[in-house]
Structure 1
Amino acid sequence: MFKSIVFQTPTIYFGIDTIKAIGQEAKKLGAGRVFLITGPQVKKAGVLEKALSYLQAESIEVEVNIQERDTPEPATDRVEEAAAIAKKGNFDVIIGLGGGSILDVAKMVSALMTNPGKTEDYFGREKVPRRGKPTIIVPTTSGTGAEVTKHAVFLDRTNNVKKVVASGSLLPNVAIVDPMMTLTCPPPVTASAGIDAYIHAAEAFLSKNANAITDTLALESISIITRWLGPAFADGQDMEARYQMSLGSLMAGIVLNNSGTSLVHAMAYPVGGEYHTPHGVTLSALLVACFDYIAVVKAEKMALLAQAMGEPIDSLASREIVDRLLKAIRHMIKSVDLPASLNDLGIKRETTNVHQWAVEAHKEQRLLSRSPRILSVEDIEKIYEKAFV
């Protein structure tokens, strides 16, 4: 069968000290004035100062917007506040410097500068009609892949649920992935972001939308993350580990943008929305139960995942391969102090409305349409139940 492929990425700079390109790239995008969105920890770590020096070397005027957050995902009201400042300042280029939430805010602020309304008007798929102001996205964690995706995730405070804006109009113009920017990332964030990247690659590998290009990137990403997440977690100053995790995360983000995630992410939204648990942490608690459910229809790809994780599978039956893969995933999760079940996450079954979670997760057809296995509300409810074990 001949398959057509549309493959989308920003211009990508990857490697040590690629942050030096930020000023020149801003100039190329027409920057006289830049609105730089970041977080307090990035400023405290000295990362912001470095980025500013390269922008100022190009005589670019910069206004810095520090995003203070009270939830793991940015709330829509914070996005609107930043967008109002950006509109008033009439900036030429928007730069996001930080973790995934900061980068999502930057992408959405850019879109709101050229499109009417509020963030909530664009929840869903391909609802942003016009490209925003040019964006340069610089991650300081290795995990979300936000620098190379068209997605942005927010907390809808009104309904206490996580919502996604997914539109080609949000795809950044330039991504600068400099491993040096991740050296000060603390261990819990390193772990959470790293598992997020693993799941991006693995879920997209199993997606109905997977293709030869994304499959190749996904397997390499999984191999890299399996090998280097532990060392990066154990020693944040391990430059080799940081370099490899930056590369693995970048690959996973590209795969995510071009093949998409499905079941694990859909099921994480109601949990994260209710308990305000960090995204990667929530995903890790659901991953094993979700992949166990999918395995029956993806035996061949499950075997490839196991091999990418370095598991010997010769002469094993399909179910034995799946069991070995799930054991390897559970070991990786536990080795970086993350939860491998909802119980591990501290959520008690007796105080949880699992059926309502399943109803909410089933509404995420943007994601579930890519699942290799068709899912009813009842199916999702059973997976949640299994995720408590």
Structure 2
Amino acid sequence: MNINSTVISGYQALNDLSYLLKGRQKALLVTDKNIEGIPAVQTLIAQLKQHIASLSVVNSVPPEPSQHDVAAIVAALPTTDVDLVIGVGGGSVLDVAKLLSILCVKGAPTLEALLAGEKPLTRTTSLLIPTTAGTGSEATPNAILAIPEKETKVGIITPVMLPDYVALVPELTTSMPPHIASSTGIDALCHLIECFTATVANPVSDNYAMIGMKKLFASLETAVAEPGNLEARLNMLWASYYGGASIAHAGTHLVHAMSYPLGGKYHIPHGVANAILLAPCMRFVRPAAVSKFAQAYDLLPDADQTLDEEAKSHALVEYFAALVQRLKLPASLEELGIGPDHLPYLVEAALDVQRLMKNVPMKVSADDVRNVYLTLFPALNH
């Protein structure tokens, strides 16, 4: 899958977008109320108003949006004929912006038709600006929507949604609270290590994944501890972008398949669900990915190069577990009020995500999934 986006990056990269805005008549800015208030976003809005005759602002995108949320946004738009869609926000905002870039063109399909897989598709020009460093949505052909009726999530996937322009601007991420910087950073790490070890991994996705992991390992904890460290924040934006590019060329697997039900039914934030599952899932797949794990371990700033591949693969899993702990993210479902009585639902719902399960580098049975979930209930393991 070709990613042809033009990437603009660096401090104050949004200061002059006149070259991009010239000749645009109608634009749609997609964001949320918190992001809209950031000074740099206010400056961007002023710039848009200066260059574009008609600017509509959608600031009602909720976390983990459903198809009903998107349908309500489309119904409330003053026009669905725009020549530029700009998404500024976290993964949920960017996913909605990507969907609107298809839904806001003349003769666009309905959202229902999009969910049903209608083709061919076209979109209007799009610019995506992430304000978290985790989802990599700006580099993926995916938009994830919650389906409340089924208590799960689905992915709408089409290369048409890949944006024309991406802006990686570190100052837009400095207002993230530490727990958001932590959980979104772990989400990026899951994208990178899962794509690197997936059955569909290839030299292109491996290259993206290794560059992304090197940046993430060097910068995640600094970015969380020092919100104003623009170098660390920019490195995390790039790590997140490379995670998205890895998804575009390969695909995630066990962590994401098992986290979908946690978000769909229990509304656990996606990055938190992934953080809980990261070490247990990687411990399970490690025997099928020893060499890849060893390569990833070698990217750690303080990697012990005297270890053999087997030892490095174990050390990487332990690093993941310790990292989640250092970042003060939950390590069990019990901490979130989910009891073991929910296991039958979780196992069935995770196995249902075949789009991702087929990427796991080994066969996965219902008992395997159950056993991984069981590790998230420490009270049962004593």
Point out where structure 1 has 5 or more consecutive residues left out of the alignment.
1-5
1:11 aligns with 2:2: no
Once residues 31 and 243 of structure 2 are traced to their aligned partners in structure 1, the CA distance between those partners, rounded to angstroms, is 23
**Partner of 2:56 in structure 1?**
63
- Judge conservation of contact 2:61–2:93 (CA < 8 Å) in 1: no
1:46 aligns with 2:49: no
Once residues 209 and 178 of structure 1 are traced to their aligned partners in structure 2, the CA distance between those partners, rounded to angstroms, is 31
**DSSP-derived class of the 2:20 partner:** helix
Once residues 189 and 275 of structure 1 are traced to their aligned partners in structure 2, the CA distance between those partners, rounded to angstroms, is 18
Once residues 311 and 374 of structure 1 are traced to their aligned partners in structure 2, the CA distance between those partners, rounded to angstroms, is 33
Shift of 1:9: 4.1
1:257-314 deviation per Cα after TM superposition (whole angstroms, max 9, x unaligned): 2111111111110111111011000001011111111111111001111111235344
1:218-243 deviation per Cα after TM superposition (whole angstroms, max 9, x unaligned): 12211221221112111211222212
Identical-pair percentage: 28
| Further displaced range: 305-314 or 159-168 | 305-314
**Partner of 1:78 in structure 2?**
69
**Partner of 2:276 in structure 1?**
285
When normalised by structure 1's length, the TM-score is 0.90
CA change 1:36–1:23 in 2 (3 A) is farther
1:298 aligns with 2:289: yes
**Partner of 1:377 in structure 2?**
366
Once residues 202 and 36 of structure 1 are traced to their aligned partners in structure 2, the CA distance between those partners, rounded to angstroms, is 33
CA change 1:23–1:132 in 2 (3 A) is same
- Judge conservation of contact 1:285–1:345 (CA < 8 Å) in 2: no
**DSSP-derived class of the 2:73 partner:** helix
1:87-134 deviation per Cα after TM superposition (whole angstroms, max 9, x unaligned): 735222111111111111111122223432225x4448x655302222
| Further displaced range: 142-151 or 212-221 | 212-221
**DSSP-derived class of the 1:95 partner:** strand
**Partner of 2:148 in structure 1?**
157
1:58-86 deviation per Cα after TM superposition (whole angstroms, max 9, x unaligned): 344311111152xx301222211222344
- Judge conservation of contact 2:24–2:52 (CA < 8 Å) in 1: no
When normalised by structure 2's length, the TM-score is 0.91
- Judge conservation of contact 2:31–2:58 (CA < 8 Å) in 1: yes
- Judge conservation of contact 2:145–2:155 (CA < 8 Å) in 1: yes
- Output the aligned Cα RMSD: 2.1
| Further displaced range: 95-104 or 56-65 | 56-65
Once residues 23 and 183 of structure 1 are traced to their aligned partners in structure 2, the CA distance between those partners, rounded to angstroms, is 25
1:117 aligns with 2:106: no
* Count of residues paired in the alignment: 376
CA change 1:301–1:237 in 2 (3 A) is same
Once residues 345 and 332 of structure 1 are traced to their aligned partners in structure 2, the CA distance between those partners, rounded to angstroms, is 19
Structure 1 letter corresponding to 2:7: I
Once residues 363 and 114 of structure 2 are traced to their aligned partners in structure 1, the CA distance between those partners, rounded to angstroms, is 27
Once residues 230 and 347 of structure 1 are traced to their aligned partners in structure 2, the CA distance between those partners, rounded to angstroms, is 28
